[in-house]
Structure 1
Amino acid sequence: MTITTLNGVTLAYDDIAPPGGAQRTVLLLHGFASNRAEGWKRTGWYTAFERRGTRVIALDQRGHGESVKSHDPADYGRQNLAADALALLDHLGVGRCDVFGYSMGTRTAMQLALDAPDRVSNLVLGGVGGKLFDPPRPGAAEAMAQAMGTDDPETIENDFLKSFRHFADEQGEDRKALAASSAAVSPPLDRAALGRLPMPVLVVAGARDDLAGDPAELAAVFPYGKGKSLPGCDHFSAIPHGALKAAVLDFLDGIPDEDDFPPFE
């Protein structure tokens, strides 16, 4: 683990090269209330990539893990998070790599791809789908901030918000920083600009992930997009699941999915 100052803020990250040298590099961007250790290391992604000769770069995004903890929502705009990730790639001398984001991390990943498409070989968007472009639910950001700020999580009536609060508590996260992060305002992602991205894109989510919606619907936005739904998985159970690892690694290795084959006649 290394902590350094990049893009004007303190960021913590891991940079792990497999024995014998790396064949490729992947940048991992975790979800809300998670961090690099919980989102990627504990769930087996570091090991999975190492076995394929892949260099793993994973950072704690602002407000999470061991990185800077601001309580000002203005510090958490999506463009700031993407600039942090690009600054880290510059710092490590990485010109081009695969980028894999999950949930909140997908928005950082898409912004990074929009800002610097020449730096992204393949783009993997996990835990999202067609609902990405739905209008924000009125009061949703305020409800999440309140859930993070309350002293007693048992007073949270919404089960989804309560699950995020318990997850944050389990990770020992700074709840005020998470509240500020959830209250950040970013401009809507530009659908037309996403539709001009030149790299292959995998959109993958659990079939039971009500937060995401249909991955194929979002994949259709990209010129080279592919959607994949994981049976039996929801938003939280997908990230450690072997089915997600198989889908992502096969995509990065260029192995066709069975859905890519024409029906047998």
Structure 2
Amino acid sequence: MPCFTNAGVEIAYLDEGEGEPIVLVHGFASSKNVNWVYPTWVSFLRQAGRRVIALDNRGHGDSTKLYDPEDYHIGTMAGDVLALMDHLGIARADIMGYSLGGRITGYLARHHGQRLHRAILGGIGLGLIEGGGPDENVAKALEAPSLDAVTHKMGRMFRAFADQTRSDHRALAACLRGSRRLMTREEVAGIAVPVLIAVGTTDEIAGSASGLAEIINGAQVLDIPRRDHMRAVGDKVYKEGVLAFLTSSA
């Protein structure tokens, strides 16, 4: 698996296919494989004629594990995405993030809009500015001796997911504590690139997709029917809606 180093942090990534590039940024406690390869996003986009790049966020997958929350600020994690693009000689690309990856993508769209053609915010709606996602209860669940010791509902869900993906629990707890920065309503309103907001209709974590779209001028909403936060990722409606957005806004 290829990797590069950004300010001493090794970032693992994949780079497959040919055509216009799209960069994929996975969610919290996930990885490029769990979020994008196994749900067939990479093969789907390659078949659509795209060059697909996906990274393991710091603290995740095959990238360097860090244990200081200060190493996981959203701007720092967004910097890894930009550094990967620079490493590959990509001046501008479409970027799609899911959940935490959506927060990173939103930050990039606002503060580095010249590097994006289009932004796809998956699994994140008004939570981008209001929060409501994983909190300190989840961090404590990750630090618990076992899943059996966790009683908090959301904490159990994320701890079980972290166990399933064989993640580094301490690194994830640090990431959660360091990446909590929310965007302001004014920041979000300043996003000028084309945006698609894709959220499952039974997602209790992301926040309202339509509510976020009301703040971002021209943003489109993709409702993923009958899918919650975890099950929306590989949904056919999600894939087809993203491809339609990429095509129609070209």
Query: Could you tell me the TM-score, scaled by structure 2's length?
Result: 0.95
Between the aligned partners of 2:22 and 2:195, the Cα distance in structure 1 is 14
Q: Is the 8 A contact 2:224 2:235 kept in 1?
A: no
Q: What residue is the counterpart of 1:147 in the other structure?
A: 141
Which amino acid is the alignment partner of residue 193 of structure 1? E
The Cα shift of 1:135 comes to 5.2
The separation in 1 between residues aligned to 2:135 and 2:191, in whole angstroms, is: 29
Q: 1:136 to 1:216 in 2, by over 3 A?
A: closer
* Structure 1 residues 2-47: Cα deviation after superposition (integer angstroms, max 9, x where no partner): 1221233110000112xxx31x110000000000011000001001
Q: Of the candidates 70, 74, 88, which is equivalent to residue 70 of structure 2?
A: 74
**219, 222, 230: which one aligns with 2:224:** 230
Alignment correspondent of 2:104:
108
Q: Which position in structure 1 is the counterpart of 2:119?
A: 123
Amino acid at match of 1:66: D
Contact in 2 for aligned 1:214/1:229 (Cα 8 Å): no
CA shift digits 1:43-98 (9 cap, x unpaired): 01001101011001100001000001011111000000001100110110001110
Matched positions, count: 249
Q: Where does residue 59 of structure 1 map in the other structure? A: 55
User: Partner residue of 1:4?
Assistant: 4
The AA in structure 2 aligned to 1:7 is A
Aligned to 1:184: 178
Q: CA deviation at 1:185?
A: 5.3
Structure 2: which 5+ runs fail to align?
none
Superposition RMSD in Å: 1.6
Q: Shift of the alpha carbon at 1:134?
A: 2.1
Letter in 2 for 1:10: E
CA contact (8 A) 2:128 2:183 kept: no
AA aligned to 1:223 is N
2: CA distance between counterparts of 1:199 and 1:207?
25
How many angstroms apart in 1 are the aligned matches of 2:127 and 2:63? 29
Matched, 1:171 2:165: yes
Correspondence for 1:13: 13
SS at match of 1:123: strand
Q: Distance in 1 between matches of 2:111 and 2:197?
A: 19
Give the Cα separation in 2 of the matches to 1:46 and 1:83: 22
Contact kept? 1:217, 1:227, Cα under 8 Å: no
For the 8 Å contact 2:110–2:187, the answer to whether it is kept is: yes
In structure 2, the residue matched to 1:88 is: 84
What CA distance in whole angstroms lies between the structure 1 residues aligned with 2:244 and 2:49? 14
Deviation track 1:178-212 (CA, whole Å, cap 9, x = no partner) reads: 01111115543132232122211001100000112
Q: Does 1:196 align with 2:190?
A: yes
CA contact (8 A) 2:125 2:208 kept: yes
Deviation at residue 110 of structure 1 after TM alignment: 1.2
Distance 1:135 1:161 in 2: 16
Over 3 Å counting, the alpha-carbon distance change for 1:38 and 1:186 in structure 2 is closer
Q: Corresponding residue for 1:259? A: none
The TM-score, its normalising length taken from structure 1, stands at 0.89
Match for residue 95 of structure 2? 99
CA contact (8 A) 1:63 1:174 kept: yes
Question: Which one-letter code corresponds to 2:59 in the other structure?
Answer: G
**1:247 aligned to 233, 241, 248, which one?**
241
Q: Specify the alignment match of 2:204 in structure 1.
A: 210
Deviates more, 1:173-182 or 1:156-165: 156-165
